Structure 1
Amino acid sequence: MLEHEQVVIRTGRRSRLPVIVAVHSTALGPAAGGLRLWHYRDWRDGLDDALRLSSAMTSKFAVAGLPSGGGKTVVALPQGTKPDAARHRDVLHDVADVIASLGGAYATGPDVGTGPDDMAVIGEITPHVFCRPAHQGGSGDSSPHTAQGAFAALRAVSRRLYGTPSLAGRTVAVAGLGRVGAALARLLAAEGAALTVTDIDPDKRTIGEELGAVWAAPEKILGADVDIVVPAALGSVLDRQTVADLRCRAVVGPANNQLATPEAAELLHERGIVWVPDYVASAGGVIHAVSVELHRLTADEARARVDAIERTVDDLLDTARSRGQSPAQAAGELARRRLGAASGPAGRPVAQRPPAQEQHA
């Protein structure tokens, strides 16, 4: 049974590529979520991604206590192709057309394969976009804020495991040194953590050298003998085998969809390994962007929301311990409770007013 409010699939009139927009929920407010341009063996694999990621976005906003719902856009690129500049622009305008047709029910931002400049192109057609470049009045690159939010989650876990939020002296393995992973690794190094890092791009080894980190082979990083493993690349890395191979006390990182199967969360819990759900640890970037561009908060107010991830994780870990649950179960129950409170008696979304401090002209 489809749990989404809307799923729109159109062939772009310019690019002739499948554009998929999944609006999972608007119970808490208009939906928001990134635009992913990625290669798929079949466009239906892109549809599966959009459905899964949009659902995670609903949970992400609900756990964070924000007045937004979850959505996602995926453009399924055929394997082995890369649009040239002109066709790339056509793809973005096709995406903008679909978003405009939804009448404000959903706004998009960057994700894998897109960035702030792409959001500016989408903004030529529809205002329902965020993370445009700062010089155009947007919030710019979200990756520093995603890294800051993951760092806040790591502080909460460090407090739970070691009695202090400081990561100084902790051994941490960072899997992935893209924009978010590299920014997070720098925060950890500045805090005094001892790093082991990797990336599928061998050129990223220079980042590891800059930070004084040990370089590991990508296939070995999850099994590193460290305090905390930080997944910071693509998802589906935690399955029965990789969980069995872990030699850490916690897995906390900004990668989306870390679980290859739902059972992996319970396997982690059974092994006594703390796993902060990815939709909690990775929320900083989108929290900052929608706070500034959609909710019209100041930069300081938006930063406070990102830093509040530390308190959110503290509370989730407290709840999980008191109820004998995994953090994943505690987060899921919190999201469902907040979504249920925002729905009418027939389960339909009710109109949401932002809290008083979020009402801006």
Structure 2
Amino acid sequence: MQVFTHSEFDGHETVAFCHDKASGLRAIIAIHDTRLGPALGGCRMLPYTSEAEALTDVLRLSRGMSYKNALAGLPLGGGKSVIIGDPRQDKTPALLEAFGAFVEGLNGRYITAEDSNTSPADMEIIARRTAHVRNMGFGPDDNPSPVTALGTFYGIEVGLEVLGLPMDGAKVVVEGLGKVGMDLAARLHAAGARLVVTDVNAQAVAEAVARFGAEAVAPGTAHRVQADVYAPCALGAGLNARTIPELGARMVAGAANNQLETPQDGDRLQARGVLYCPDYVVNAGGVLGIPLPGERLTMAERMARATVIQRTTRDVLDLAVERDIPTHTAADRLAQEILSGGAMRLAAE
């Protein structure tokens, strides 16, 4: 398994493979860039089919966090971690504590937080072995999902404005009805959008149909629905050479990470005339709501911070038009300029 020559390797500063025999921990921590500050990024736990799949995921996600944190204006770099295992069977306090010990061993260069299949309660356990944890202060009923959903809503709102469409009456397809997707659906419904929903969880679909008068479609078909907006809020890589020719929406803006399977898929979207609001721009609400060291934030204060996504989305879309480049390229370049500026400031100091 190659790292330095991996297709997703992007000059990452550190890639750490973590193993604890006693607990069964198998994890990878990737630190992409710390020029703006310590690398912040969540820890997800998935039953990856291979170590190579886990490595690909963590390399892509950590780079995305560098760009997300930079565009959000945070004094933080980007990193990510993945634990290989079935969270329903393999997640134990001993495993989480072992992971915390590895985080501590990085001496503050990486700060972990909750992500897919990890929770605030899990962060409390990880914090037994390291101080380098965020999302502390989010209780079981007070999580970052509403902030992420609000930011994604703002991104959709700006994208519709660019297309000259009102939110009221817009047809939006929400794929994935987890905490973020369901919250986003509620916000869209309240703003007058007409919803089409899908999820592998039939109960979540039934709830959305009952609450929002949504139309339900089968999993795997949502991208084909003729609509104004396609909002992927499940797993990544859903926009690819197979699905993009089938897209029925005029715009893509959702909360899922790494929506493009490859950078070339952003070019494919532009060629099809589909407006793409890059995922790490519009889904930055969760990281914006995480307290910085020494901060104590109310949920209202966290939600207020998400308003910056209106500006960053507009900046990215404007830059794409100004330079005649795809929106994903515009977002990357804007983030890289911010990261380079941070490096120059550090050198000057």
- Residue in 1 that maps onto 2:244: 243
Instruction: Find the residue that maps to 2:83 and give its secondary structure.
Output: strand
Distance 1:280 1:295, change over 3 A: farther
Alpha-carbon deviation of 1:195?
Answer: 0.2
- The answer to whether structure 1 residue 62 and structure 2 residue 61 are counterparts is no
- Residue in 2 that maps onto 1:296: 295
Moved over 4 A (4+): none
- Residue in 2 that maps onto 1:284: 285
Distance 1:140 1:26, change over 3 A: farther
User: Using the alignment, how far apart are the partners of 2:159 and 2:125 within structure 1?
Assistant: 39
User: Using the alignment, how far apart are the partners of 1:236 and 1:50 within structure 2?
Assistant: 13
Distance 1:236 1:134, change over 3 A: closer
| Partner amino acid, structure 1, of 2:116 | V
| Greater CA drift, 173-182 or 258-267 | 258-267
- The answer to whether structure 1 residue 350 and structure 2 residue 346 are counterparts is yes
- Post-superposition Cα deviations, 1:198-255, rounded to whole Å, max 9, x if no partner, equal 0011121222222110001112110101110000000111112211111211000000
- Post-superposition Cα deviations, 1:116-141, rounded to whole Å, max 9, x if no partner, equal 111111112211111134459xx941
Instruction: Find the residue that maps to 1:95 and give its secondary structure.
Output: helix
Alpha-carbon deviation of 1:296?
Answer: 2.1
Question: Among 106, 109, 128, which residue is 2:110 paired with?
Answer: 106
User: Using the alignment, how far apart are the partners of 1:57 and 1:179 within structure 2?
Assistant: 20
- Residue in 1 that maps onto 2:155: 153
| Partner amino acid, structure 1, of 2:77 | G
- Residue in 2 that maps onto 1:162: 164
- Residue in 2 that maps onto 1:206: 206
Alpha-carbon deviation of 1:163?
Answer: 5.5
Alpha-carbon deviation of 1:90?
Answer: 1.4
* Structure 1 residue runs without a partner (length 5+): 354-361
Instruction: Find the residue that maps to 2:306 and give its secondary structure.
Output: helix
TM-score (norm: length of structure 2):
0.92
Aligned pairs (5 A) from 1:1-361: 1=4, 2=9, 3-77=11-85, 82-83=88-89, 88-134=92-138, 140-162=142-164, 164=166, 167-209=167-209, 210-289=211-290, 292-294=291-293, 296=295, 298-299=297-298, 301-344=301-344, 350=346
User: Using the alignment, how far apart are the partners of 1:241 and 1:7 within structure 2?
Assistant: 31
User: Using the alignment, how far apart are the partners of 1:318 and 1:333 within structure 2?
Assistant: 13
Alpha-carbon deviation of 1:293?
Answer: 4.0
Equivalent residues, number: 339
- What do you get for the CA RMSD once the two structures are aligned? 2.1
Instruction: Find the residue that maps to 1:29 and give its secondary structure.
Output: coil
| Greater CA drift, 94-103 or 11-20 | 11-20
Instruction: Find the residue that maps to 2:318 and give its secondary structure.
Output: helix
TM-score (norm: length of structure 1):
0.89
- Post-superposition Cα deviations, 1:231-288, rounded to whole Å, max 9, x if no partner, equal 0000111112211111211000000111122211001011111101111111111111
User: Using the alignment, how far apart are the partners of 2:20 and 2:292 within structure 1?
Assistant: 27
| Greater CA drift, 200-209 or 263-272 | 200-209
Alpha-carbon deviation of 1:103?
Answer: 1.1
User: Using the alignment, how far apart are the partners of 1:188 and 1:202 within structure 2?
Assistant: 20
- Post-superposition Cα deviations, 1:298-339, rounded to whole Å, max 9, x if no partner, equal 445543331110111111111111211111111111111111
Percent identity reads 37
